[in-house]
Amino acid sequence: MDYAEARRRMVDGQVRPNRVTDPRILEGMRAIPRELFVPQRLRVRALSDEDLALGGGRVLLQPMVVARLIQLAAPRPGERVLVLGAGPGYGAAVMAHMGAQVVAVEDDAVIAGFGEEGIAAAGLPAGSLRRQAGSSEAGLPDGAPYDLIFIEGAVPSIPAALSAQLAEGGRLSAIRAVPGQVPSAILGRRVGGSFSTVEAFDIAGTQMPLLPAFAPKPGFALS
């Protein structure tokens, strides 16, 4: 398969038609080898319009969803970005390609390992992407504050411990999924020491499993 041509078709056929207009995202998704961020058996499907199951209840989000979330987050060159639930690191790599300084946190070593070849082949600027093992739910307070926190998956709510790691004026992008409702992309901002979120767009036609680190614990009920 000509993967470079397949990535071009992915961008022109899936990403651009879904109102993704930031040329930096389009360029990054053409250039970064998404097919190298999944196990060998999934590479022929890596550029298709679907979530890819990585095991342990985790998925690599479909290209259109990743692109729209990144566009919503609007990472700027030089900004300090914390990616949580980073998985193999595909979304983190796209944002590093856009010029952000990215720290990608993932607590599953096997899933993180799927991205080693892709990150090595992505041609990112030196030092633009650092990967670290850790709890996505806890974030990375030692490195705070961040200009942007990007949660690469679905959560029921945003823990206060995460929003507290944002700089003044900082943003947070995630997918909120609660029972009985269509999952939606949200954008949060920290202003005047307070944090609030707004819904940006629905993500219909997907099961969108919660990131395990954010799933309600047994015996806990969402209000």
What is the average per-residue pLDDT within 107-127? 96
Instruction: Give the pLDDT confidence score for residue 88 in this predicted structure.
Output: 98
What is the average per-residue pLDDT within 55-70? 95
Sheet holding 101-106, edge to edge: 129-133, 101-106, 80-84, 146-155, 166-176, 184-191, 194-202
Mean residue pLDDT of the chain comes to: 94
Structural domains in the chain, CATH included, are 3-213 (3.40.50.150)
What is the average per-residue pLDDT within 137-163? 96
Instruction: Give the pLDDT confidence score for residue 209 in this predicted structure.
Output: 84
Contacts of 153 (CB under 8 A, 6+ apart): 58, 59, 61, 85, 87, 174, 175, 209, 210, 211, 214
Instruction: Give the pLDDT confidence score for residue 18 in this predicted structure.
Output: 95
Instruction: Look up the pTM and report it.
Output: 0.94
Model pLDDT for residues 165-218, shown as the tens digit of each residue: 999 999 999 999 988 889 999 999 999 989 999 999 999 766 678 999 998 876
Instruction: Give the pLDDT confidence score for residue 215 in this predicted structure.
Output: 85
Residue 124 is given by DSSP the state P
